[in-house]
Chains A and B, each alone.
Chain A
Amino acid sequence: NAGVTQTPKFRVLKTGQSMTLLCAQDMNHEYMYWYRQDPGMGLRLIHYSVGEGTTAKGEVPDGYNVSRLKKQNFLLGLESAAPSQTSVYFCASSDNRGYSDEQYFGPGTRLTVT
C-alpha cells in the first residue's frame, strides 16, 4: 500500500496563478482532510470531507476550494494564489470512525507564492 500520496511535492507560483493539489489514498478511508502548516501556527484545517461527494469548511477555508469526486481522491484548488498561501500543505485520511481514529498523512506539498 502506498498510503497517502500527494502531487506535486514542490511548486512555485506567481501571484494570481492557479493550481490544484492532488491527494490520493489507497486505504479505502471515508474521511480526508487538507491542512496547511506555517511556522509558529501548527497545522490548520482548510477543508475536509466525510465521504465521496461531500466537503466542508475547516478553520481557514478562504482562498481554497476542494472536490471529492472519487472516494480515493481529494483535490485542493487555489484559484488565484497569494503570497499568504505560501505554506506546506498536508493531506490526511482516516477511517470512518472519524474523530477517534488515527489520521494518516501524506508527505506534504511545499508551495511558494511569489
Chain B
Amino acid sequence: RKEVEQDPGPFNVPEGATVAFNCTYSNSASQSFFWYRQDCRKEPKLLMSVYSSGNEDGRFTAQLNRASQYISLLIRDSKLSDSATYLCVVNRNTGNQFYFGTGTSLTVIP
C-alpha cells in the first residue's frame, strides 16, 4: 500500500467555484503534513502546512483527520492562477523522510 494516496483528477472547475481535494496516508505514525503546489514542469512549492486544529490561509483551508488518516484541502473562489497540481506530503518523526502523493490536477476554466 502506498504511503500517501490522492485522487489524480483531473478536476476541471469554473472560476469562482469551490473545490476540495482529499488525501489518505497509511502510516499512523505520520507526524507532519503539508500541501505543495506544482506548476507544469516546475518544482514543487509549499502551499501550506496542515495542523491538527485545521488552518486557513486566505481562500485555502486545510484539515487533518488523524482518526481516519486523511488530509483535505479546500479552495474557495477558484482563480485561473490556481490551475496546478496539488501534492499531499506527510512525514513521520523518524528518518527525516517525506512521502509525496502522486498529485491532484486542477484546471480552473474561465
B-side interface residues, number (CB < 8 Å): 25
- Smallest Cβ distance from A44 to chain B, in angstroms? 8
CB of A42 within 8 A of CB of B101, answer: yes
B55 at the interface (CB under 8 A from A): no
A-side interface residues, number (CB < 8 Å): 24
CB of A45 within 8 A of CB of B45, answer: no
Asked, given contacts A43-B44, A105-B44, A105-B45, whether A99 binds B91 with beta carbons under 8 Å apart, the answer is yes
Chain B residues with CB under 8 Å of A50's CB are 96
Bound CA–CA A40/B43 (angstroms): 16
Chain A 13-41, CB-CB to B under 8 Å as 1, else 0, gives: 00000000000000000010101000011
Bound CA–CA A98/B98 (angstroms): 10
Which residue of A is nearest B90, CB measured?
A99
B92 at the interface (CB under 8 A from A): yes
